[in-house]
Amino acid sequence: MKKRITAYLAYIDKLLEENSADTDWDKEIKKHLVHIGFFAHERQVHLIVMVLFALMTLMSILYLNYSGKMIMLLLTVALLVLLIPYVMHYYLLENSVQKMYTQYDEMMNKNHKAFKLDN
């Protein structure tokens, strides 16, 4: 997923930098909105999973403090090992979707400027 997001962001950045007259901004804006929807959905799913892992980790830490059983230490460590990549991936998704919103605004501005030049 990381490769797909970074490649798509680079593609849109390149389109915005080139500002070619051949660019069909209406088509690119529609395509961009679809991608925003996909990545926003992915972000929402990962938020739910990350919060559940965080709650399970917190509960295992609390139970470890209460019981002192070594098996709970293993569970807590395992949950922490899984939680860290989830946080990092969610961070990437959140920042990428926020950047896509900014790119969308820039695309709309370029589309309006192109429309004004045509008329």
Judged against a pLDDT cut of 80, whether residue 7 lies above it is answered with yes
Q: How far is CA 10 from CA 4, 22, 44, 90, in A?
A: 10, 19, 23, 19
Give the pLDDT confidence score for residue 12 in this predicted structure: 92
As a whole number, mean pLDDT of residues 15-43 equals: 89
Domain boundaries of the chain, sorted by first residue: 54-107
The 3-class secondary structure across 13-67, one letter per residue, is HHHHHHCCCCCCHHHHHHHHHHHHHHHHHHHHHHHHHHHHHHHHHHHHHHHHHHH
13: CB partners within 8 A, 6+ apart: 103
What Rg value do the Cα atoms of the chain yield, rounded?
21
Give the pLDDT confidence score for residue 115 in this predicted structure: 55
Judged against a pLDDT cut of 60, whether residue 117 lies above it is answered with no
Instruction: Indicate the DSSP class of residue 103.
Output: H
Note the pLDDT tens digit of each residue in 49-95.
999 999 999 999 999 988 888 888 999 999 999 999 899 999 999 99
